[in-house]
Structure 1
Amino acid sequence: MKKSQALYRSVLIIILCGVGFMYSQSESVYQQVEEAVANSISKGVQVGQEALPIQLETLKGEQVSLDDYLGQPVVVNFFATWCHPCQEEMPIIVEMEKRLKEKGAAFVAVNMTSQESSKDEIAPFLQHYRATFDPLLDKDGEIMKKYQIIGIPTTLVIDENGIIVQRINGGLTFELMEDLVIFRE
């Protein structure tokens, strides 16, 4: 009887040691999986990618970076004053900016200044639509190229981790705005 109890205890100790070892290794396995997932997310301009950096001057002369908004969702809208779909969607953009502020999210407008006939047209354009945001100015077209902006307007929804979760190529309607990931409950 004592031999079977000793054998039973030995087997139990071996099992417990094995479970303990497996538990101690599980943390490193999970860490490896997390690192693999993090490494699989590349920087880019499409859904699922970490948004490329943007750092530009605003119309008022302030330097703003997309990194300033890490930790909160942000909607980025690319527009130009001469663009008819941009003109049509501007009342929606103004409303969207208001709603985003109410939700604690950020809004960033990027004017394709390199495509404008004059920078002087931007302020009157925004005043006409009663827009209160201060747009970033892509004076040399660098951001337009980096973000592969072929047609404008283009709108991106970026989550609090800097990952692009939605990209809309073309003008927003009120229905499309309501359907943005950030406004879904």
Structure 2
Amino acid sequence: MMKKFLLSIVFALGILCSANAQLPSVTLKDINGKTVRTDTLSNNGKPFIIDFFATWCKPCNRELTAISEVYEEWQEETGVKVIAVSIDQAQNINKVKPLVDSHEWPYEVLLDPNSDFKRALGIQMIPYTLIVDGNGNIVYKHNGYTEGAEQELIEKVRELVNK
């Protein structure tokens, strides 16, 4: 009985701790070759969304395109920023900028060709989306994309902004 109680306490603490995890420190490059440390990503105290994608991932591309169609309104309403992180491997990295440009995605785009950032966050599958609050805490995680799922994202961001 006591063992089950202790296990449930440890499990609950694990959930609480992982719910407000900070971003790990991984050094990446942005789409223009500038070095960026992931633990310094921010949005001036406002929430931001990190969306992991790959050029070959159709659901990822649909998600980023769907967000881009409402992104301006989201920014006006909440000040949210989207950071797209490509996990394309080194040999395909040259396909990322043309894809971003062809879709006219207005996001900051980071390159994670060795999946270091993805691995540090324990991400298995893409698309994978995180919401980070204004204090740098990961407050929401979502795997996969179905049409309309971007509405859930903005609802979570609104909750943070209206706290």
Counterpart secondary structure, 1:51: coil
1:107-126 equivalences under 5 Å are: 107-114=82-89, 117-126=91-100
The answer to whether the Cα contact below 8 Å between 1:92 and 1:172 also exists between their aligned partners in 2 is: no
Matches within 5 A, 1:56-67: 56-66=28-38, 67=40
**Is the counterpart of residue 182 in structure 1 residue 154 in structure 2?**
no
What secondary structure is seen at the aligned counterpart in 2 of 1:93?
Answer: helix
Structure-1 residue corresponding to 2:141: 167
Please give the TM-score of this superposition, normalised by the length of structure 2. 0.73
Per-residue CA distance 1:115-134 (angstroms, 9 max, x = gap): x6411211221122121224
User: Equivalent residue of 1:109, what SS?
Assistant: strand
RCO higher in 1 or 2 (8 Å CA, sep ≥ 6)?
2
Secondary structure at the residue paired with 2:130? Answer: strand
2:22 equivalent in structure 1: 50
Alignment gaps of 5+ in structure 2: 1-12
Identity rate, percent: 26
Equivalent residues of 2:112, 2:118 under 8 A apart:
yes
Provide the C-alpha distance between the structure 1 equivalents of 2:127 and 2:91, rounded to a whole number of angstroms.
17
Return 5+ residue gaps in structure 1 as ranges. Answer: 1-39
The within-5 A match list for 1:1-185 is: 46-66=18-38, 67-69=40-42, 71-95=45-69, 97-102=71-76, 103-114=78-89, 117-171=91-145, 173-174=147-148, 176-180=149-153, 181-184=156-159
Q: Is the 8 A contact 1:75 1:107 kept in 2?
A: yes
Task: State the shift of 1:162 in Å.
Answer: 1.3
Give the TM-score of the pair, scaled to structure 1: 0.66
Structure 1 range deviating more: 76-85 or 94-103: 94-103
Q: Give structure 1 regions of 4+ aligned residues with deviation exceeding 3 angstroms.
A: none
Instruction: Check the 8 A contact 1:41/1:49 in 2, yes or no.
Output: no
1:72-101 deviation digits (Å, cap 9, x = unpaired): 211000000001211222211323543443
Q: How many residues align?
A: 142
